């Protein structure tokens, strides 16, 4: 898809993308690089990051890899410091790292719940906290990728829904607290996005067909469509937007939890 934004929009800027090794995060990293930003990629698996960095380089951009676990503040802090040392500054942080799986709350272990909160919510705080001192130097922008499950009560995903709701609240708190430093803090809440690990986990097998039929706009979204929303928020077009969560879901959330409601009985062994 050709972006509606002029190219070179982010020339001279540096972006740090967690979860940049695959799916939506990789798409965002490539898009920010295509708009002129130098990009730092963080994820646990170095090979995934290196593949994305190579694609960015092949397209004429510049990217570096910083393997780390977002749950470990010291690792994230070191990675962001190393990215700033390599590229000279930090303007944009995108939090896309996350974990999710379908599990009924009644059988989800305490560690399963905690693991997802730790990756999504604590991981987002860790990256925001580590990025603050660098973003504050000249102002900048944070965008966290949440999900419609943050607002819509959704069976089988209480762990991820609670984590994403926490991120949206954190987004508003940080937007207020860091506005004085010129740091805008926003979120993008995607609905179901095609060709992602997320939807292969959340709509396995034939259920994908049912899911698609029930989206008001009649299809799943694309990674490119999430990239457009992120580009808007980090660009001058979004200069007066902070504390917002931009829904990009084809109207899915208007209908409630939809197909996941039909899956409760089977997953609870009824
Ligand atoms: C029930 C599960 C489980 C499952 C793991 N656990 N998978 N419980 N059903 N399918 C439990 C384990 O039993 C364990 O608890 C605890 O979770 C931690 O599991 P580990 O495997 O040790 O964790 P870890 O290696 O850290 O891996 C984290 C992970 C994994 C989240 C479990 O799936 C992962 O790395 N995911 C990253 C990629 C991903 O999920 N992408 C999709 C994002 S999509 P016990 O008690 O046994 O110790 C997305 C969509 C958003 O986020 C929309 C919804 C909001
Ligand atoms: P994905 O490809 O699995 O992306 C998640 C990334 O996070 C992976 O590259 C993973 O790499 C990284 N990650 C996971 N745990 C990490 C950790 N502890 N530390 C550092 N990195 C970690 O999934 P996706 O579907 O594209 O999802 C991307 C984002 O969009 C997530 O925030 C997700 O919640 C959100 N979202 C997706 C959808 C959808 O339809 N797909 C809908 C709504 C919201 P490693 O495993 O190598 O670390």
DSSP 58-92: HTT--EEE----TT-HHHHHHHHHHHHHHHS---E
> Shortest CA distance to 165 belongs to which of 197, 187, 180, 182?
187
Q: Is the CB of 22 under 6 A from ligand 2?
A: yes
Q: Confirm whether 117 is domain-assigned.
A: yes
- Structural domain span for residue 138: 14-198+221-253
Q: Confirm whether 9 is domain-assigned.
A: no
Provide residues with CB under 6 Å of ligand 1. Answer: 98-101, 103, 108-109, 111-112, 115-116, 147, 149, 157, 160-161, 164, 197-198, 201
Q: Confirm whether 261 is domain-assigned.
A: no
Distance CA 78, CA 202 (A): 33
Q: Confirm whether 61 is domain-assigned.
A: yes
Q: Is the CB of 72 under 6 A from ligand 2?
A: no
Distance CA 155, CA 264 (A): 7
Give me the pLDDT at residue 5, please: 83
Q: Confirm whether 147 is domain-assigned.
A: yes
Q: DSSP secondary-structure letter at 122?
A: I
Closest residue CA from atom 42 of ligand 1: 198
Give me the pLDDT at residue 224, please: 98
Give me the pLDDT at residue 258, please: 86
Give me the pLDDT at residue 270, please: 84
Give me the pLDDT at residue 7, please: 83
Those residues of the chain that have pLDDT short of 50 are none
pTM score of the predicted model? 0.98
CA distances for 197 relative to 4, 25, 97, angstroms: 26, 11, 12
For residues 192, 193, 194, 197, the Cα torsion angle rounded to the nearest 10 degrees is -90
Looking up residue 147, the CATH number of its domain turns out to be 3.40.50.720
200 within 8 A of 192, measured Cβ to Cβ: no
The residue to mutate among 196, 199, 250, having the most atoms of ligand 2 within 8 angstroms of its beta carbon, is 196
Q: Confirm whether 209 is domain-assigned.
A: no
> Shortest CA distance to 184 belongs to which of 123, 246, 226, 264?
246
Q: What is the number of domains present in the chain?
A: 1
């Amino acid at each position: 898809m050709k972006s509606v934004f002029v190219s070179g929009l982010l020339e001279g800027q540096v972006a740090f993308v967690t979860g940049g090794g695959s799916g939506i995060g990789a798409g965002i990293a490539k898009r920010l690089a295509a708009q002129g930003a130098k990009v730092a990629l963080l994820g646990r698996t170095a090979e995934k990051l290196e593949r994305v960095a190579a694609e960015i380089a092949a397209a004429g951009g510049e990217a570096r890899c910083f393997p780390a676990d977002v749950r470990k503040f010291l690792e994230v802090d070191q990675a962001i410091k190393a990215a700033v040392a390599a590229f000279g500054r930090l303007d944009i942080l995108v939090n896309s790292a996350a974990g999710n799986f379908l599990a009924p709350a009644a059988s989800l272990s305490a560690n399963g719940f905690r693991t997802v909160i730790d990756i999504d919510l604590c991981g987002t705080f860790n990256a925001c906290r580590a990025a603050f001192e660098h973003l504050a130097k000249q102002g900048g922008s944070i965008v966290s990728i949440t999900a419609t499950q943050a607002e819509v009560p959704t069976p089988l995903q209480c762990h991820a829904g609670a984590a994403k709701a926490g991120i949206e609240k954190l987004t508003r708190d940080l937007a207020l607290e860091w506005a004085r430093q010129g740091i805008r803090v926003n979120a993008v809440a995607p609905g179901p996005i095609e060709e992602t690990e997320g939807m292969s986990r959340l709509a396995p097998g034939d259920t994908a067909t049912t899911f698609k039929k029930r989206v008001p706009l009649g299809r799943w979204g694309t990674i490119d469509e999430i990239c457009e929303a992120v580009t808007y928020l980090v660009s001058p077009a979004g200069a007066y937007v902070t504390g917002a969560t931009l829904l990009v879901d084809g109207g899915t959330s208007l209908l409630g939890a939809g197909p996941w409601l039909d899956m409760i009985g089977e997953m609870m062994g009824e």
